[in-house]
Amino acid sequence: MAMADTTVGLSLLFLLIAQIVSLLFSSHTAFARTTPSASKPSRITAKLIHRNSILSPYYKPNATVWELNQEALHRSHARVQHIQQIRGIFNNGASILDNDTMSVGLIADKIGTLFLAKLSIGQPPVPQLLDVDTGSSLTWIRCVPCNGCSKQDVPMFDPSKSSSYAATTCTKGSSNVCGDSAGTCSEAGNCKFVVSYADGTRVEGVIASETMILETTDEGQAPVHINVLGCANINDGVTDNQESGLLGLGTEKYSVLKQLGGKFSHCFGDMHNPNYEYNMLVFGDGAIFEGDVTPIDTHLGYYFVILEGISVGEEKLDIDPSIFKLQSDGDGGVMVDSGTTYTSMVKGAYDVLRQKVQSLLDQFLNGPIKYPTFPDLLCYKGQVDRDLSGFPAVALHLAQGADIVLDTHSMFVQMEEGTLCMAVEPADKNAEELTVIGGLALQSYNVGYDIDGGKMHVQRIDCQLLQS
């Protein structure tokens, strides 16, 4: 009897030990599945909306391809001309803090930019739709009351209704500049700003601090404090625009970029597809730095890279790389510009590239043909998808082995039904030494900017893969 009791007791003990071990194992497994280190950190982002997207207030469902391309060309030309105009002002000795020069903006309202950013401002949050510009530093929005402002696609921001809004005050003294902002101190002690554009548009207002609400990649919200934000109360000139302001990603110390850590990345997808919805902008330490690395230099708030050569297929073109060099006087150079659609290239390099492309297209397409409005474009009769499927890729070789590769949809555009054109132009006669790598060349790439580190990262990828 005693033997039986002992056997039963040992059986119960072994069963209890087995249950405890099983419980501990299952608990450890559950913890391993839920531990934060096993998940990716969320990123602070803003959704980018292409100007011709169905999500844009400028979407024209009945516009022809020809009409859309004309608008893009006019915007690109106007933008490059204005960039050169601004560079000329500073290259002639103007200080970056001179009020008269600080008031010169980059984007005219009627020109617009390539992408709009969707975010919110204030507490409670008010949705905003802002022009995105890597060539401007001051971020500003239209505010109630606003004299001369047009009806915009999103509600106009009313600072009196935001608990997080604080106007910047100052003391007018020996310096007329308001600390680290782009403003000047008024007699009343308000920090004021003025932005004037080449087309006569003028935006005026006050500098303030406010909360900007961005998105996160895990579908949350990220409120961030912005010390320098322009609140515009006067908008003279062109008034047919529907965005609510401008998101400046330039390199001056008062830019949103600098206030969020000096790092950002952007990813552009298929610009020819109005339904594409995965374009994105990422700020701060969460910016995506993958792929090839190349040095980047900032000059007057613009981003410059070193272009060492160009290849078409396996053939490297005979181009002297010194033609792309940024000169000591500030002229020339190769700018990466997210606001310009087409790529424009210093003529000595463009002529060589055009000659090579033309020699290939002459073999199987009818042309070249000329548009009187855009006589410098290389155009042929044909369809990009049908006729250029085997055309060799064109590679822009940047310093330290980084490449930006242009496939047929980045190198060419369907200008109109039955006609295609090269999406690279010769530099404008007013900016003959400047090369600008535009948005079409950057599509299907994530581009990361590490300003303090002096590096740019380029990775060819479908932007949709970066959304999680």
Domain limits of the chain?
Answer: 44-281, 288-466
Largest CA distance in the chain: 112
Q: What is d(CA 240, CA 256) in angstroms, rounded to the nearest whole number? A: 26
Q: What is the pLDDT of residue 24?
A: 37
CA quadruple 447, 451, 453, 454: dihedral sign: positive
pLDDT for the residue numbered 240: 56
Q: In the predicted model, is pLDDT for residue 422 greater than 90?
A: yes
Compute φ and ψ for 415, nearest 5 degrees.
-65, -40
CATH superfamily, with its number, for domain 44-281 = Acid Proteases (2.40.70.10)
Is the pLDDT at 101 greater than 50, yes or no? no
| Catalytic-residue membership of 351 | no
Q: Are 167 and 158 in contact (CB under 8 A)?
A: no
- The residues pairing with 117 across neighbouring beta strands, listed in sequence order, are 48, 130
Cβ neighbours of 198 (radius 10 Å): 18
The pair of three-digit structure tokens given for residue 333, joined into one six-digit string? 């150079």
pLDDT at 338: 76
Beta-sheet pairing, 366-369 with 379-381: antiparallel
Kindly state the DSSP code that residue 123 receives in the 8-state scheme.
T
* Euclidean distance between CA atoms 53 and 60, whole angstroms: 9
* Beta-sheet pairing, 334-336 with 435-437: parallel
The confidence score (pLDDT) of residue 91 equals 55
Token reading at 355: 């000659």
Calculate ∠ Cα 18-23-27, nearest 5°.
150
Is the distance from CB of 109 to CB of 238 less than 8 angstroms?
A: yes
Q: Which of 27-36, 88-97, 238-247 has the highest mean pLDDT?
A: 238-247
Predicted confidence at residue 445, as pLDDT, reads 95
User: Which one of the listed residues 133, 320, 329, 387 is annotated catalytic?
Assistant: 133
Please tell me the predicted confidence (pLDDT) of residue 99.
37
- pLDDT, position 340: 83
**Cβ proximity of 355 and 319 under 8 Å:** no
Q: Is 150 helix (H, G, I), strand (E, B) or coil?
A: coil
Taking the C-alpha atoms of residue 228 and residue 250, their distance in angstroms, rounded to an integer, is 13
Split at pLDDT 50, 70, 90, the class of 364 is very high
Cross-strand bridge partners of residue 217: none
Residue 4 has pLDDT above 70, yes or no: no
**Residue 94, pLDDT score:** 43
Apex 261 CA angle, 46 and 301, nearest 5: 85
What would the mean pLDDT of 162-180 be, rounded to a whole number? 78
pLDDT over 70, % of the chain = 80
The answer on pLDDT for 100 being more than 60 is: no
List pLDDT tens digits, range 189-234: 889 988 876 566 788 899 999 999 988 877 778 899 998 999 999 8
**Are 44-281 and 288-466 in the same CATH fold?**
yes
pLDDT exceeds cutoff 70 at 17: no
Architecture of the CATH domain 288-466: Beta Barrel (2.40)
Q: pLDDT tens digits for 379-391?
A: 999 999 999 999 9
Q: Is the pLDDT score of 408 beyond 50? A: yes
* Residue from 109, 131, 337, 450 carrying the catalytic annotation: 337
Indicate if 337 belongs to the active site: yes
Give 159's pLDDT tier (boundaries 50, 70, 90): very high
Q: Note every long-range contact of 325-330, with CB atoms under 8 Å and residues 24 or more positions apart, other chains counting.
A: 326/297, 326/299, 327/433, 329/91, 330/87, 330/90, 330/91, 330/299, 330/300
**Backbone phi, psi, residue 44, to 5°:** -85, 120
Q: Is the model's pLDDT at 248 over the cut of 90?
A: no
- Per-residue pLDDT tens digits for 282-339: 988 889 999 999 999 988 778 999 999 999 999 999 999 999 998 877 788 999 987 7
Is 399 in contact with 293 (CB distance < 8 Å)?
A: no
What letter would DSSP give residue 189? S
Residue 134 CA to residue 453 CA, distance in Å, equals 17
| Mean pLDDT, rounded, of the chain | 81
